[in-house]
Structure 1
Amino acid sequence: MKQLDLFLAFFRVGMLGYGGGPASIPLVHKEVVDKYKWMNEDEFSDVLALGNTLPGPIATKMAGYIGYRVGGTVGMINAVLATIIPTIILMIVLLTFLSSIKNQPWVMGMTKAVVPVVGVMLATLTWDFFKKSKDTLGLKTAMAVIIGSIILLQFVGLHPALLIGGILVFALVKRDEKASQEQNVERGVGM
């Protein structure tokens, strides 16, 4: 049953994720965190951050990792296939049809109408991540990270993978420092 659930979850993402990877992220979140509860918010955030540092489409990377985590190697293959099969089918079937009607006003209108919907979905996911970071880091630190990230990405032109990698390294160093401090306190108490 778990393999069927994996396939259906990522098949829905593949079918409804119009607009590519960024449009798929909220759909993956809905399936993985809200519906099936295969991960919590923190784990999903970690997978998303790690997936963004690696090359290639985010939807297939997330499908591969989550599929492996939930169902092993078979689950990984299952989730990746479920993610790409809709694209393959739609490209073969719809592109032949759409190429003949792509200049129709109603088709161009549909395409333009999808953009705000994807924007709202991404904004909702961003707001959820902001609330979570505010709760864990505090408002000032979360705002500093957000503002710093905007400056580095938009004005300095830093590649997102470098920013995410730097933040991951910083978090690991901080975690190790905290663990070291806790060990020192335990040693001091044990004396």
Structure 2
Amino acid sequence: MAKAKKKSYDWFQIRLDFDKGLTQAELRKKYDIPAGTLGSKIKRDGWVLSQEQTSTLDEFRAASAKLSENYYNANESQQKEMVDRVETILEDNDLVVNNRKLLRVFQNKMLKILKDGGYETALEIRQGVSSIKDIEAVANPQSNKQEINIQNTQQVAQSNQLNLKELSDDELETLNNILSKTN
């Protein structure tokens, strides 16, 4: 009698979803995994949520329960307003996620250009970093709490024109590290 072919699972993705707070029941349903298989994997590999993740999930569940209660007790126009607000929040979150992807792509492209010697002056680098900061302001709305004196930054960049082709490897590495900190 032929043995049934063992089903393979994307354990990396499953672990990511577990870390995001999906329950075992949700994971079993999403990935069509038998309870025993998932339970064994979690126990064998010692998957546990951090205290911070657990606290965040508990806060979210409490807020969700309160929101559900408020929705249930609201009149029809209030319910519509609540639904509209949630839809707006979800759309905003989609925008943030898309801009984070764009930010990563742009940062990688800028670093490649920097390593290949594509930037010749500090002003060109500053313009690239400025673009990254603009994208980051949308991608990470909480990150733009600091105000930057742009006029002063422009004056400094213009007065300190720098030819990148004259920099040593160590200086380029330092510059690369500085640019990496704009994440």
TM-score normalised by length of structure 1: 0.29
The higher-RCO structure (CA 8 Å, 6+ apart) is 1
Structure 1 or 2: more helix by fraction: 1
TM-score normalised by length of structure 2: 0.30
